[in-house]
Amino acid sequence: MKLIQPIPQLRRWVLKAQAERRPIGFVPTMGALHEGHLSLIKQARKAVGLRGRVVVSIFVNPTQFNQKSDLKHYPRRLSADIAKCHKAGVDLIFAPSAKAMYPEDFSTWVEETKLSKPLCGASRPGHFRGVCTVVLKLFNLVQPQVAIFGQKDAQQAAVVQRMVRDLNIPVRMIIAPIVREAGGLAMSSRNQRLSPKERESSLSLNRALKLTRASFQKGKRNANVLKKFARQQLRGIPGLRLDYLELVDRHTLQPVVKASAGDLLAVAAFFGKTRLIDNVHL
Ligand code: PAF
Residue pLDDT, tens place only, 22-77? 999 999 999 999 999 999 999 999 999 999 999 999 999 999 999 999 999 999 99
Q: Is the dihedral of CA 117, 261, 202, 231 positive or negative?
A: positive
Q: Which residue's CA lies nearest to atom 5 of ligand 1?
A: 131
Substitution candidate for ligand 1 out of 34, 58, 64, 132 with most atoms within 8 A of CB: 64
Count of other CB atoms within 10 angstroms of residue 254: 12
The answer to whether the beta carbons of residues 6 and 100 sit under 8 Å apart is yes
Cα separation, 169 vs 175, whole angstroms: 16
The answer to whether the beta carbons of residues 84 and 202 sit under 8 Å apart is no
Q: Which residue's CA lies nearest to atom 2 of ligand 1?
A: 29
Task: Calculate what percentage of the chain has a pLDDT beyond 70.
Answer: 100
In order, the DSSP letters of 92-136 are EEE---HHHHS-TT--------STTSSTHHHHSTTHHHHHHHHHH
The region that residue 192 occupies, defined by phi over 0 for left and psi between -120 and 50 for alpha, beta otherwise, is alpha
Q: Which residue's CA lies nearest to atom 9 of ligand 1?
A: 131
Biggest CA-to-CA distance, the chain: 59
Q: What is the pLDDT of residue 12?
A: 98
Q: Is 251 part of the annotated catalytic residue set?
A: no
Q: What average pLDDT score do residues 157-173 get?
A: 98
Q: Is the dihedral of CA 209, 113, 260, 180 positive or negative?
A: negative
Q: Taking CB atoms and a 6 Å cutoff, what residues make up the pocket around ligand 1?
A: 28-30, 61, 64, 131, 134-135, 153, 156
Cα separation, 109 vs 20, whole angstroms: 33
Q: What average pLDDT score do residues 221-234 get?
A: 98
